[in-house]
Each structure stands twice: as structure tokens, then as C-alpha cells.
Amino acid sequence: MKKKKKEQTLIVYYTMELKVVMLLLLVIALARTATAAVDQALPGCLNKCGDVSIPYPFGVGVSKLNGKNCSFERDLELNCTKSSLYTGNIPVLNISLLGQLEMDFLVSAICKVNISNGQTEAYESSLRTASFTISSTENKFLSIGCDTYGYLTSYVNQSASSTTGCVTKCWDNLENLENMQTNDGKCAGRGCCQVDIPPRMKNIGIQAYTFTNFSNSFNPNSCSVSFVVKNGGYNFSRDHLNSVPFDKAPMIVDWSVGDAACNVSKDKTNYACISDNSFCEDPPSGNGYLCKCKPGFQGNPYLYQGCTDFPDCKMGTHNCARAEYCHETPGSFECLCPDGMIGNATNEGGGCQPKQQADEFTKIVIGAGVGLIALFVGVSWLYLMLQKRRVLKLKEKFFQQNGGIILRHKLSTTRDSSQSTTIFNAEQLNKATNNFDENLIIGKGGFGTVFKGVLSNNQVVAIKKSKIVDASQVEQFINEVIILSQINHRNVVKLLGCCLETEVPLLVYEFVKNGTLFDYLHKKGQVGNVSWKTRLRIATEAAGALSYLHSAASIPIIHRDVKTANILLDDNGAVKVSDFGASRLVPQDQTEIATIVQGTFGYLDPEYMQSGQLTEKSDVYSFGVVLVELLTREEPFSFQRTEEKRSLTFHFVCSLEEDNLFDVVQIDDEDEENKHEIMQVAILAARCLKLRGEERPSMKEVAMELEGVMLMNKHPWTNSSHTFEERQYLLFEAQSIREPGDSSGQQNTRYDSARELQLIDFGNGR
């Protein structure tokens, strides 16, 4: 029993002894850590002078180990006398490796020392060192006294480079002076003034002055003083007007090493930033450079291995949920859960949880997540299905609204099914026109806007987007589709298809590159001179296309808006008749249709305007205007011309009957030999312009006559003796245009139809 008790006592003893040993080791380690933290100087150099630490690159004397200078450079050499640290003869109070040094700097003063003879004594304070710059952010310049002013001057090569200062004045009235007690603690201009210090001042001198030599001062024994002091280092008191209780004031200076910036100093052999985890930084003073430890490291970057990893875990500067979760990493730390636990080990992440509990929580989260995803997918699917049904119903609505049922019915009744149109969907045409970008607009008309587009097979097309139409205009749109679906002619623009799924209907045409005949004839600078041969060919091709519409199509088609703006030219200059928005089908048992008058001013058939009866001869009249345009290269109507010439057709017919045709028709020198052809086409144009439709030729006749003139071009007359006879024959034909029964002499040969044209009121033209 005693033996067992003895063994227990020994175990307790050894346990206590082990705890003591461990505690001693911990104390030694902490002591070493503290020593390492304090030891900021070179080996063998003084670390402290009194209470002030001396970090390298500053130093005192030479190393006791190797005899080398303890400072990096001469300007940073200090001396320690009677436990006080000095730079030169100025006391140093504190040194920061962030590039600042605090010193006790002298006050400049001027004082009256002998009252009887008025003698004064003045002394100036100065600091002459290139390594120190007065901190402009950490200091103020002050002057204290009555009738006092002071200067702070920076010198370069013994010459003043910049100066600042301030003035303070007191009133002689004693009551006012006593009231100044309320200004204690404030340097506001009465008895004390202060100013900011300009940046980068070094090698400074401070001088105090007095205005009145103390003759008006309430205390003739007082002094006027000026000094630099760190922010918060001085509080003004009225008593200081009698005597300032100090001759030195704490001042902050900026320091740096070297004489060049980082980018230059890095390549020098005496580069100061030698610690592995240090970097170079240019100081605000603009002189030399500073060394600093990288983020996450601390210590002295001017020493080898001087920047050490900051112990975030030991110092408690981490955000881990518990201290045991914290693990040091180079320059930082990380929060990790211990074995058997999972989760986010940070404060923000909720900490670590036991695996089993975490697994249950994870299952709950996963289950909830899956449920939410399933709910979201279900709702999204339902929404998409509803949206799809809505879009389909909307497309169906637009299809019916835009006359799709009518179009489908009419296309099903056409005789030639090979000419049925292609139905495009809205997505195809949106993609082709970049969602109908306004930059792709190539034309606008009375029935819509035309966009240039590129289909998925790289085919360039023209897409006509009709205006928003009402029920009465739907039939016009469907009419154009029906008409163009039956046409297959090289001089008529080809309809490729249509789209009725959008709010406004769309037509897809072949793209005709070279614009309209109107632009070709009238736009200045767009083209050069248009030869007679080219104009005659254009007229012949356009007449052939209209003749086809009138007589060769399965159902006769009246274009209803023939004009040069609706005649396009392709890459080869070939004619393409376009824009059938106003066109009408003519039933086989009718020759005329009663309609609302539509057309373009200057091209509109006068008979159609008055009667409202649309016939094929209405297109003939409009084509006659086109012929006159081709002959004269003038617009059909212009207010820029004189009154008798404003109507081109009237002026043209008058010139023709007066045998002055070539005063109106523009011909060039090379066209002189074609005058007989021009005369023949001019007479044909005049016949087309007859006021009564029954007297006009049909489009088929017009096309045949123009083709005959074209053949005459290929087989010109070679016998010049026929020219005069032919001219006489053509003039006779021109005169025969006059009304029947008119056999009066030359004075009465004026073209009656032209006279009647003057009486027609054209109104607004459409």
C-alpha cells in the first residue's frame, strides 16, 4: 500500500517537473522572439539609445564584430550621447521604417533683453541635411507673439528656393487681451498664426521678426517666436505671449535612402532592399527610395531575412471561426477544418461541423435544392409551353389578319402551281435583316419600306415591310402577292416569297442592285451622260414588260403606278419593272374597272382622274410620260421651271406640234444621226399621251413599234437621200395627232389635246 502511494507521488512530481521545463522553454522562445523583433540593427551595432530604437539603415558608429559602418550611408549616421540620440546636434525622438523620423527642432525667437537701451536678441534655427525633407502632411508652421511675423525658407545651394510664413498681431487693449483666454488651444490668428508647409522643403531655415520692436507690446519683455511642430504637438495659450515655455518643438521629417528612384537604384551594387520578401517604393518626397516588406510580412526590409512572415494565427488577426482552425501560409493564412469535420472554417462560413451532422445537413440541402430545381424546371416548362402557345396563336392571328386565308385560297385556284410563292417564317427574315436594322433600308414607298437582306443560303434579297394596314388595305397586299406569283418575265422583278406571321406583312423580292431609272436619269453626279441607244433599249424593255402584263399574263394586270421610280436596273442595266402595290387584276369579261383613283402626280392618266374608270390605256398614258422623261431627261413636273414648262408633257406636245422638238429633247453630237429615231419615238410618246384612252395605242403596239426602232438601229438606212423624205413623213404623222376635222392653216395647227391638258385640275396628284 505504501509502495503504491510512493509511486503515485513520484508520478505527480515528474509531471510537475515536466510542466516547469515546458514553461521555461516557452519563456525562452518568447524571449528569443521578442529579441528578434527588437533587433533591427546590423550585427554588432547599437540597437537602442535610451528609449529610442535604431533600425538599420540608421546606425551609430561602427560594428563591434567587423568594424563596418552601422549606417547605410553617411546622412543616416547618428550619435548616442548620454542615452540621447542625435542627428548632428538635433535630438531624435523616434524612427519609423515607413520613412519618417521625429526630432526635437529648435525654435527661432527674437526677444528684448535690455529694457533701458532697447537692445534685442534674435536667433535662427536651421536644419541642413539632404536626406531629410520636412513632412508637409504631418507638420504646421507657427508664429507666436504680438506684432510678429515668421518665415520658413528652403535652400538649394545656399540660395532660397521656396518660402512660406504667417503674421500675427495683438491689440493693446488689456480687456481684448484678457478675452483672448477664450482662444486657448486654438491658433487662429490673434497672438498665434499657423500655415501648411509646402511639399519637399529641405535644408530649412526659420526666422522670427517683430514689426514694432516691442514698443507697443503689452509686455515689453516678451519674445516673438516661429517654429515647425508636428500636428497636435502644440496647444496655444495666452500665457505664451509673455513667455514661450520651450525652446524646442517635435517635428516630423521624411527620410529615404540613395539618391535615385527605384527603377535606377535596383541595378546598383549598393541596393538597400536586400530582404527576400521586400520591395522598393518611391517616396512622396521625390528623393531616393524606400524599402518595405511585402503584404503579410513584417520586419526590417533593409536586413537579410529581415522581412518575416506575420503570425496571423498567433496574433489573432485572422477570420477563422476558432484559433485551432487557423494555419499559417507564406504571407497569409488559411482556415481549415480538423479531421472528422467538414464545412467552411471561417466566421462568415458558419464554422466546421461533424461529418455525420454535416452529411445530414448536406442531404437536406441537396434534397431542398433538387426540389427547388424541379419546381423551377416545371414552372419554366409550363411558362415556355404557354409562351409557345401564345406565340403560335399570335402568328395565326397575324396570318389571318394579313390575309393569309385569302392568299392560300387564291393560290390554290391558280392554274400554274409551279409559280406558287415561298412562305418564309419570321425568324428567317429577322435574321436576314438584323432585326430590320434601319441602316439596311434601301427605299420607302406609299405601301411600305424596303430592306436589304441576306438569306441563310447567302442570297441577297429585298424585303418589303408593309405599313400597318386596315381591312381595306389587306386586299391590296394580297393582290400584289397574287399578281407577282403569276409573273415570270425577265424584265419584271421576281417575287421569291412572303411572310404573314408578323404584325405587318412582308414580301421577299430578288435584289436589284443599281437603283431606279429615276435616279439614273435625274440624280446629278450619279451617272455620266446616258446615250440615246441606252435610253431606247430601256424604253423597249419596259414596254415589253408592261405588254406582257396586259396581254400575256393568265389574267390581264394593270400596273396602275407606272413611273421611272418603279423601273429598276440590274447589274447589266436590264430593266426590272417593280412595285405592284397598286396593281389590279382585270376580269376576262371586262375592259375597265371602277376604282378609287391612285397613282403619282405627273404620271396619272387625266381620263382616269376624271372618270375613275381604270383601263389598260391608263398604263399606256403613264408609259408615255416615261418616254418623254427618257427623251428629255427632265422630271415630269417641276416648280423650278417657268410656268409654261412646269408640266413636261404639255411642253413636250406643244414643242412637237410646232416642229420645235429638238429644243426640248436632249441630244449629243453623236446622236445627230439618230434624229429620225428620236422623232419616231417622240411621235409614239405623243400618241400615248392622247387625252382619250381609245385613241392611244395598246402596250403591245407600243412595244412592237419600239422594237421596230431598235431593229432600225441594227440595220440603219444607208441612203442619205431618204432622210429628208422620212422627216417629212414623221412631221405629217405628228400633225395627224390633231383632232379629226381640223384642216385649218398653220395658225390653227396647235395640238388640241395639249390645249385640253391646260384645263385639267391635277389636284394633289394621287
User: Known catalytic residues?
Assistant: 561
The alpha carbons of the chain give a radius of gyration, in whole angstroms, of 54
Q: Report d(CA 650, CA 632) in Å as an integer.
A: 13
Packing angle of the helix pair 616-632, 675-688 (nearest 10 deg) = 150
For 418, the grid coordinates are: 409551279
Which has the closest alpha carbon to 645: 754, 539, 735? 754
What span, in angstroms and rounded, lies between the C-alpha atoms of 426 and 508? 12
> Do 342 and 315 form a contact (C-beta atoms < 8 A)?
no
Residue 164's contacts (CB-CB under 8 Å, 6 or more residues apart) are 141, 151, 152, 195, 196, 197, 198
**Contact call for residues 628 and 663 (beta carbons, < 8 A):** no
Please give the helix or strand (H or E) that residue 601 lies within, else none.
none
Q: Are the C-beta atoms of residues 604 and 649 closer than 8 Å to each other?
A: no
What residues contact 77, with CB distance under 8 A and at least 6 apart? 58, 59, 60, 69, 70, 71
Q: With contact defined as beta carbons under 8 Å apart, do 130 and 203 qualify? A: yes
Burial track 412-443 (b if 16+ CB lie within 10 A, e otherwise): eeeeeeeeebebbebeebeebbeebeeebeeb
465 is an annotated ligand-binding site residue: yes
Q: Rounded to 5 degrees, what are φ and ψ at 573?
A: 85, 5
Cell matching residue 23:
514553461
- 37 vs 33, 34, 55, 299, CA distance in Å? 6, 5, 11, 7
Q: Are strands 148-156 and 84-87 parallel, antiparallel or unpaired?
A: unpaired
Q: Which residues contact 761 (CB under 8 A, 6 or more apart)?
A: none
Rounded to whole angstroms, how far apart are CA atoms 95 and 85? 11
In sign, the C-alpha dihedral spanning 481, 483, 484, 485 is: positive
**The cell 395627232 sits on which residue?**
737
SS3 of 434, please?
A: coil
The SS3 of residue 722 is: helix
Residue 759 is which amino acid? Answer: L
Q: What are phi and psi of 563, to 5 degrees?
A: -165, 165
The span from the CA of 355 to the CA of 342, in Å, is 6
Other CB atoms within a 10 A radius of the CB of residue 279 amount to: 15
For residue 181, give the nearest of 218, 144, 236, 243 by alpha carbon: 236
> What is the phi/psi pair of residue 131, to 5°?
-80, -15
What is the distance between the alpha carbons of residues 188 and 185, in angstroms, rounded to a whole number? 9
495, β-bridge pairs: 509
Q: Identify residue 279 by its one-letter amino acid code.
A: F
Q: Using an 8 Å Cβ cutoff, are 327 and 333 in contact? A: yes
Give the whole-angstrom CA distance, residue 513 versus residue 520: 12
Pairing mode of beta strands 332-335, 567-569:
unpaired
* Residue 377, φ and ψ in degrees, nearest 5: -60, -45
For the annotated binding site for ATP, the residues are 465
